[in-house]
Chains A and B, each alone.
Chain A
């Protein structure tokens, strides 16, 4: 036990005296959270709008005022011809154009008015969202103007989003970022920290000592378990304070499941370190074998159900896929363990398998 404590102490010294490790450990999570939270967002605010108003007057101005009074649009340009309009699009000074035809007020009361919305399709996602938004605002405004609404009312649909009513993307990204961070940090840092001893030759004197392999491995991993839990706490706090993302389910359950996932990632790191002999190889293996699949195939960014079948099959062996279901269930839906025992069992199985394989491949000698 004393040896174990001495080993863990040594590991903490290594971690806290290496600026790069610290940066990966604490800088990367925050950078990713901010990046995903702010930059990569599907919400729209203050989109640039231009207007080609062919029947200026109080009536049409009221419509434009209505549109820009929402936070959705900002009026950036007014144009008077098709040529001017295309020019503005070409210079990217507007994302969307609203074209109000001649005799708009008269046509409107005759029930024949039509408004043209032209969106810049070079960003199709944005164009779809903006067009739908503009349509919505115009429809609402029209309804308020009609004296007898029944005459134009058709069958309306109304969609309500469960669990994430505002469709805030940050709600989606926080669980995803935690998943990626836990996976990457633990796999990378643990495999690097073991291969470093190989590369520097210090593993040789560890071999030639009474230390049991289990003490060496556990001593290597213990600091990362503690620091990862700390890391996850910081991410959750930042998410709560900055992005107002709450944990709807049991925090205790969230930590226990995270602990399981951390163990999965660490055992993968140990496995990588039994194969790699240099820190660089270990880094490559953990980054390339883990980062891309974890981000692309876990369902974090692209939904698994819309992937081609072979990729769906591959996604099953990615631990992050299962953890993402768990963490989203707890954080967003507030579910309990009874809804995620299957995913939990899969993660446990993966962890046991990886640990078994690592023990089998772990060497007590050189070569």
Chain B
């Protein structure tokens, strides 16, 4: 449905993305995961025809996005990273405006947006600017869907939205997927990766890996040890002294990525001996976040070595 072929784009001489190639199949929920400034928005803007690539080609439903931009514009639903609706128009005025410029009556595709829009219904006459963050995203999604696009492109739709709204939003995306809409979504939150069919991990304008969430976890070639303690800072310092390995805190836990097997109880003892008494170490199941952290750091190290 969407194909990037060796895409490159620079801004004023600085490459934003380079040598990007990947494909998204029809009906797929595809996630583009990466930190701020990785190049996610650039890739989406090239697909939605608002930016021209410097090199490579990008295809949308078999159409070149540069030559055939009019086809793309008719058939894509795009939600930019910033809230891009008219804040001084009411909810219903926004929806009607976008329905009209896409030449569809609201009723025709109402079934597609019903689940999203029904929560906005009580606020129909409220100005869009006065809505909460989560509600704004729902309205933007409704407006992007109103013309029943073949592909939905969502640039960081859950950025800055509270946890409950984020979960709701992902449920809505799954629902849309079941109705046959191809969805490309970008996010800086790694935990959202597991909700996609396939994900691409992007960093510094380059794709590190494209796979299913399970596939990415399977490729993890290290052992993950979960270390629980109240004294995270001291424990991290201690681990750094002991090993040349990566260790990160995830909430109340430290995850240590070990290229070889170690004995959890002996590590516990060593840490206790260093004054961290409440510690407990166990071999954990790596999650997708662990794989990303590991991948991103190894690629940074490789890049610096070059």
Task: Mark A residues whose CB is within 8 Å of B.
Answer: 2-3, 6-7, 9-10, 13-14, 17-18, 200-202, 204-211, 364-367
Q: A210-B74, A365-B49 are in contact. Are A204 and B84 (CB under 8 A)?
A: yes
CB-contacts of B109-150 with A (<8 A) = 143-144
Evaluate contact between A207 and B101: CB separation under 8 angstroms: no
CB-contacts of B1-59 with A (<8 A) = 45, 48-52
Binding-face segment, B85-93, B190-198, B273-281: B85-93
Residues of B within 8 A of A206 (CB): 101
Q: Distance in Å from the Cβ of A136 to the closest Cβ of chain B?
A: 60
Complex partner residue of A209 from B86, B89, B101, CB under 8 angstroms: B101
Complex partner residue of B50 from A10, A204, A210, CB under 8 angstroms: A204
Cβ-based interface call for B183 (8 A) = no
Evaluate contact between A201 and B49: CB separation under 8 angstroms: no
Nearest-neighbor residue (CB-CB) of B153 within chain A: A208
Task: Mark B residues whose CB is within 8 Å of A.
Answer: 45, 48-52, 69-70, 72-74, 76, 78, 80, 82-89, 93, 96-98, 100-103, 143-144
Residues of B within 8 A of A202 (CB): 84-86
Q: Distance in Å from the Cβ of B146 to the closest Cβ of chain A?
A: 11
Nearest-neighbor residue (CB-CB) of A365 within chain B: B50
* 7 other A-B residue contacts (CB within 8 Å) besides A202-B85, A365-B52: A10-B97, A14-B86, A200-B84, A204-B84, A207-B50, A208-B49, A208-B73
The docked-state distance in angstroms from the alpha carbon of A202 to that of B129 is 13
The docked-state distance in angstroms from the alpha carbon of A45 to that of B70 is 68
Q: By DSSP majority rule, is chain A's interface helix, strand, loop, or mixed?
A: helix
Evaluate contact between B88 and A210: CB separation under 8 angstroms: no
Q: A14-B86, A202-B86 are in contact. Are A211 and B78 (CB under 8 A)?
A: no
Residues of B within 8 A of A210 (CB): 70, 73-74, 101-103
Q: Distance in Å from the Cβ of A8 to the closest Cβ of chain B?
A: 11
Q: Distance in Å from the Cβ of A283 to the closest Cβ of chain B?
A: 18
Residues of A within 8 A of B87 (CB): 200
Residues of A within 8 A of B144 (CB): 205
The docked-state distance in angstroms from the alpha carbon of A3 to that of B89 is 17
Complex partner residue of B51 from A3, A9, A205, A365, CB under 8 angstroms: A365
Closest 7 CB pairs of A and B: A6-B100, A201-B82, A201-B84, A208-B78, A17-B88, A208-B48, A366-B50
Evaluate contact between B45 and A366: CB separation under 8 angstroms: yes
Residues of A within 8 A of B96 (CB): 6
The docked-state distance in angstroms from the alpha carbon of A18 to that of B89 is 11
Evaluate contact between B73 and A7: CB separation under 8 angstroms: no
Evaluate contact between A6 and B101: CB separation under 8 angstroms: yes
The docked-state distance in angstroms from the alpha carbon of A13 to that of B78 is 24
Residues of A within 8 A of B82 (CB): 200-201
Residues of B within 8 A of A6 (CB): 96-97, 100-101
Residues of B within 8 A of A2 (CB): 100, 103
The contact sample of 27 A-B pairs, CB cut-off 8 A, is A3-B100, A6-B97, A6-B101, A10-B86, A10-B97, A13-B86, A13-B89, A200-B84, A201-B82, A202-B86, A204-B78, A204-B84, A205-B143, A207-B73, A208-B48, A208-B50, A208-B72, A208-B76, A208-B78, A209-B73, A209-B98, A209-B102, A210-B70, A211-B101, A365-B49, A365-B52, A366-B50
The docked-state distance in angstroms from the alpha carbon of A99 to that of B144 is 85
Evaluate contact between A13 and B73: CB separation under 8 angstroms: no
Q: Distance in Å from the Cβ of A276 to the closest Cβ of chain B?
A: 19
Q: Distance in Å from the Cβ of B235 to the closest Cβ of chain A?
A: 44
Evaluate contact between B102 and A205: CB separation under 8 angstroms: no
Evaluate contact between A7 and B84: CB separation under 8 angstroms: no
Evaluate contact between B101 and A14: CB separation under 8 angstroms: no
Evaluate contact between B103 and A3: CB separation under 8 angstroms: yes
Q: Distance in Å from the Cβ of A198 to the closest Cβ of chain B?
A: 11
Nearest-neighbor residue (CB-CB) of B66 within chain A: A365
Residues of A within 8 A of B85 (CB): 202, 205
